[in-house]
A and B are shown apart, each in its own frame.
Chain A
Amino acid sequence: MSPMSRRQAPRRPRVGVVKFASCDGCQLTMLDLEDELLAITERFDIVEFAEATSNRSEGPYDVLLVEGSISTPEQAEEITRLRREATMLVTIGACATSGGIQALRNLADHDAFRNAVYPRPEWIESLPTSTPVSDHVAVDAELYGCPISGRQLLELLTALTVGRRPQLPDEAVCAECKRLGNPCILVAEGVACLGPVTRTGCGALCPSFGRGCYGCFGPKESANTPALAAWFASLGYDDGEIARLYAKFNVGAPAFHQIVEAKR
């Protein structure tokens, strides 16, 4: 694709930001880029971003950032419509890329929840599973995380304007911990940390504060979650504890899901 830089494209790229089943935190990350926000609004024409502007647009979009998982029949239809309107569709966040924490219901009886919680369950239209956007439409790029990293969002936007491949490495959190000089809490203290099987992007945030990685950026490529689960077991964690480690924000991702299924 050609760069969307000022001198190559006479008009600014039309950008939309939409949400499905999510908490809004990933959209907020763009607004948190305080130093760069002005430059972003100058380079991009933000035509749809309900959280930030009253400008509305049903499309078309040069770039559409999609937050949230597909959780209702209505959302499944809407994402298909939006795919047609978008030249480039980018999913942002754990909900959009793996189904989010609400994908815990994929392992359980969704009807039972509905009946237990709502006085008129028949009025609640929801799908039995919460699924990532990529299960429904083709996706051009993904930003992972819960929430996504502002730095990575900025890199994606810069890559679009400058015309380079976005540098979003698919490597373990461990690589970042080691570059930062964090001693490994799993090795040094036996604290369960999902870092070795989780994609970096957060800057090794939790281990930098002495907490085990929660896996919120989802499994790295070829994540060998069974081998790490076996190690946790040898450290004394029981099956339930191990399952709960993986049953979080990216429980819908196959590499994490398989451990929860096996251990619960």
Chain B
Amino acid sequence: MGLDANLAAAWLTHELEPHTRIALAELGRLVSLRPTEVLMREGDPSDALAIVLEGRIGLRLRVPERGQVTILTVEPGDVVGWSAIVPPYRATSTAVALTDSELAVFEGEKLREALAADDKLAAQLYPVLLQAVARRLEGTRLQLLDLFSQRWVEPW
């Protein structure tokens, strides 16, 4: 029940129809993370999709000469671990709590089965997740342009 209220407030899921949201809430559980606790590791099988309710989750990639580089932080309302429902179900980055965080976590296999079985759930959830991933892609493209760097390196 508590999870349903959280999903109603999160921007990712607050426009889902109530019974879809309730169905979703029943698939998940509330998880608390302390700073430096890892939700998933880059390259590991992705077994959970989560919605951040409070706090901040950092997404990191490993660059051998540079160590761990944080390329995005996921703020309240946003999704982490969408790879759990997209083949090959492998985590594309390491997700680590940067502050005390609360998440609604959905076990990957259970969620995949539910989506395959419940057309209405699928019809409402996929667009919402697609939007979140599209927003992330848009942000990544702007990050890629490296707009704040000095664009020309001239000898003068």
Contacts and interface: CB of A to CB of B under 8 A. Distances in A.
Contacts of B156: 1, 159, 164-166
A87 to B, nearest CB: 9
B155 interface: yes
Q: Give the size range of A's interface with the partner.
A: under 10
Contacts of A159: 156
Nearest to A159: B156
A141 interface: yes
Q: Give the size range of B's interface with the partner.
A: under 10
B36 to A, nearest CB: 43
Interface of A: 1, 88, 140-141, 159, 164-166
Contacts of A140: 155
A88 B155 CA distance: 8
10 contacts: A1-B155, A1-B156, A88-B155, A140-B155, A141-B155, A159-B156, A164-B156, A165-B154, A165-B156, A166-B156
A165 B155 CA distance: 9
Nearest to A87: B155
A166 B155 CA distance: 11
Interface in B97-156: 154-156
Given A1-B156, A165-B154, A166-B156, 7 more contacts: A1-B155, A88-B155, A140-B155, A141-B155, A159-B156, A164-B156, A165-B156
Nearest to A89: B155
Contacts of B155: 1, 88, 140-141
Contacts of A164: 156
B156 to A, nearest CB: 4
Nearest to A163: B156
